[in-house]
Amino acid sequence: MTERRGLLVDWGGVLTTDVFASFRAFCEAEGLAPDTVRDLFREDPRARDALAGLETGALDRDAFEREFAGLLGVEPDGIVERLFGAIGPDEAMVGAVRRARAAGLRTGLLSNSWRAEDYDRDLLEELFDAWVISGEVGLRKPDPAIYELAAERLGLAPDAIVYVDDLPGNLKPARALGMATIVHRRAEETLPEVEALLGVPLR
């Protein structure tokens, strides 16, 4: 069995607090049913297509805001900031990535997001040896090609990588490539699993 020497993580919902909790807070502020945003992304092909377009760079942010706000029946201006306004860092998970890199492991970010400018570049460079952001490369999870690209940028074979994501559907292609995968809910559950796979203390 290949020695696991890489940790690859998602951003939203892994290195941050719960994305869906932020969506619920948005719905409450807008006078919508609590799971309106979640349900749109899960069940409405127009919402899924708009998100996919945003995350691959095929749809610009203004167009996404008009499209998605129209589906919700809310004001479009600043809707992205409003959707994600209740998100903050998960310090335990950020600290774990920092410790993994300090221990000599390769660390990487694999995120569906529209642009790298929305990230703190100093923090990216501190935490990661490599990153793949969907809007920069024109691919998004769960396309298998984006996981292959992440492994290539890390300089590791997929079976040497542990991948953590909060969406189970995003783990399936990684697992098919040979990555060890962990679905993230809470740091106190995720980190013991990561430590067991990598053999490095992260808390």
Q: Are 200 and 105 in contact (CB under 8 A)?
A: yes
Say what angle helices 36-43 and 19-30 make with each other, to 10 degrees.
Answer: 120
Q: What is the pLDDT of residue 120?
A: 85
Q: What is the pLDDT of residue 1?
A: 67
185 pLDDT band, cuts 50/70/90, is very high
CATH 3.40.50.1000 boundaries in the chain: 6-17+88-198
Convert the pLDDT of each residue in 113-159 to its tens digit.
987 677 888 999 999 999 999 999 999 999 999 999 999 999 999 99
Q: Are 83 and 37 in contact (CB under 8 A)?
A: yes
Please provide the average confidence, as pLDDT, over all residues in the chain: 96
Q: What is the pLDDT of residue 118?
A: 76
Looking at the chain, which runs of residues are DSSP E strands? 6-9, 106-111, 130-133, 161-165, 180-183
Fold of 6-17+88-198: Rossmann fold (3.40.50)
Convert the pLDDT of each residue in 67-82 to its tens digit.
999 999 999 999 999 9
What average pLDDT does the segment 87-96 reach? 97
The separation between the first and the last C-alpha atoms of the chain, rounded to the nearest angstrom, is: 26
Phi, psi of 162 (to 5 degrees): -105, 125
Out of 81-85, 118-122, 181-185, 194-198, least confident range: 118-122
Core vs surface per residue 78-109: b (16+ CB within 10 A) or e:
ebbebbbebbeebeebbbbbebbbeeebbbbb
Cis omega (within 30 of 0) for bond into 76: no
What average pLDDT does the segment 36-62 reach? 95
